[in-house]
Structure 1
């Protein structure tokens, strides 16, 4: 692993948790790391708080692929993005300093609204109606009009995001070594008049997915980007593709993606 010395800590201001965070910062200083006040000056970004805090740190720092992200949970159990517990400080520093520690790489998806506004997601993109009304979306794969969806919405997930909202929709859990995106329906309407595939499907990293929102009076959709939600009033087209970026995190021994899935669900 390349040498990384500049460390930035991302955490929610909480007086009850500050002593543990302060201890973590002091140990990092003792080990020769420089603590920086801006994420753009760091080559290690430590997110303290859980998976939500990790996703927020990645988003606020601009989905950087030139630094290492480290997730530290302050909850009882480690989680999908958090390999360390806040009280296992020595283990975290040792892991970062060890030359033999491997790096886990997670794919990211790019999202464009009406061809210009750009977002990125590490976990998932969801498009839903903000009113109690059937949502109509034309689903286009590359240049193929695949189907017309009617229902509550659509979720597009990365492999790591496949364990979240996607899984609750009976989508498949996908190995993050596969660069792909999974499309899952939210309460689709299927009858003699309207028909969709009715199951999740997976698109390779060279595919482009376009969700064309049919303007039938439902002009106030909500788009979820990981753990954030935005109103996208009057948006007509959402283009989704795999990004060339990857997010790098520490991979500990005996704590692969599938170890985490087993620990979380089985």
Structure 2
């Protein structure tokens, strides 16, 4: 029998709390150890937002942990198990040594004008840069070469798994997570006889990087996944594919395009 050290991360809805209590009881009964500090496996109970929170809680241990999502609501992109399948999940945890499937992450580094230390983040989905009061102006460098001067509401940089989130809503492409690349998408860019940008999403290869050099960052808002960073005088933001990857336990891993179809299209009658 396989015995694992398992951490459980959950949201606070009444139904999720009931499912979490049931899951914890079943895991202990099966001989697994609940270890929130040094787990081998992290089980997220809730939705995609809960799994994002779990990822950030254990982002410093990505070489040691795998993730599983149990969904207590509608079908999500990061959740392979439903709340009524706990017995099946625990049976596989207890009887099978499983492999993992890995997905790319976004490396985010923010440099400030006031001399503060550079901040470093990992993102599973995306990072968004916006101005809240007026047009954002930023020079976009690709692999240290100036590509364009952007003027508009903002920019989104996403991972392949994040391509189905905010990126898709602003006209970005959906990328399969086996594509080791990041995507840059514009948010309401200004394009006229005076100001001009490419106006299309760009897919950046793993050996390249993006740097946004802000022309005026007094009211610049930056997010990393669901977290909003404190507004400060930002000089530049550097993006590239991270060396780290997230590992999902593949006891039962739903095909990516099936996730996309189920989320955006639904059942198709043949």
TM (normalized to structure 2)? 0.90
Q: Kindly report structure 1 stretches of 4+ aligned residues shifted beyond 4 Å.
A: none
- C-alpha separation in 2, matches of 1:174 and 1:103: 20
Which of 120, 123, 146 aligns to 1:121? It is 123
Question: What is the CA distance between 1:191 and its match in structure 2?
Answer: 0.2
* 2:159 corresponds to 1:161: no
For 1:42 and 1:7, how far apart are their aligned partners in 2?
5
- CA deviation after TM superposition for structure 1 residue 99, in Å: 3.4
Instruction: Spell out, residue by residue over 1:200-226, the C-alpha distance to the aligned partner (whole angstroms, 9 max, x if none).
Output: 0100111111001102xx512111111
What's the CA shift string for 1:123-153, capped at 9, x where partnerless?
Answer: 001001122x110010000121000000000
Other-structure match for 2:218: 219
Report the secondary structure of 2:59's partner residue: coil
- Distance change (3 Å), C-alpha of 1:184 and 1:4: farther
What's the offset of the Cα at 1:168? 0.7
TM-superposed CA distance for 1:83, in Å, is: 0.9
Q: Which secondary structure does the structure 2 equivalent of 1:231 belong to?
A: coil
Q: State how 1:1-266 maps to structure 2 within 5 Å.
A: 5-38=4-37, 41-62=38-59, 64-75=62-73, 77-97=74-94, 99=96, 101-114=98-111, 116-131=118-133, 133-215=134-216, 218-251=217-250, 253=252, 255-266=254-265
- Distance (Å, rounded) in 2 between the aligned partners of 1:16 and 1:81: 19
Change (3 A) 1:16 1:251: closer
Q: Alpha carbon RMSD of aligned pairs, Å?
A: 1.8
Retained in 1: the 8 A contact 2:104–2:246? yes
CA contact (8 A) 1:24 1:86 kept: no
Count of aligned residue pairs for this structure pair: 258
Q: What is the TM-score with the length of structure 1 in the denominator?
A: 0.91
Q: Indicate the residue corresponding to 2:114 in structure 1.
A: none
Query: Where do 5+ consecutive residues of structure 2 fail to align?
Result: 112-116, 266-270
Verify the 8 A CA contact 1:106 1:160 in the aligned structure 2: yes
Could you tell me whether the CA contact under 8 Å between 1:4 and 1:44 is conserved in 2?
no
Q: Contact 1:83–1:252 at 8 Å: present in 2 too?
A: no
1:62/1:4 CA distance change after superposition, 3 Å: farther
1:169–1:185 CA contact under 8 A, matched in 2: yes
**Larger displacement relative to structure 2 (112-121 or 196-205):** 112-121
- Deviation, 1:256, is 1.1
Check whether the contact 1:4–1:43 (CA below 8 A) recurs between aligned residues.
no
The alignment partner of 1:78 has SS state of coil
CA distance in 2, matches of 1:78, 1:15: 18
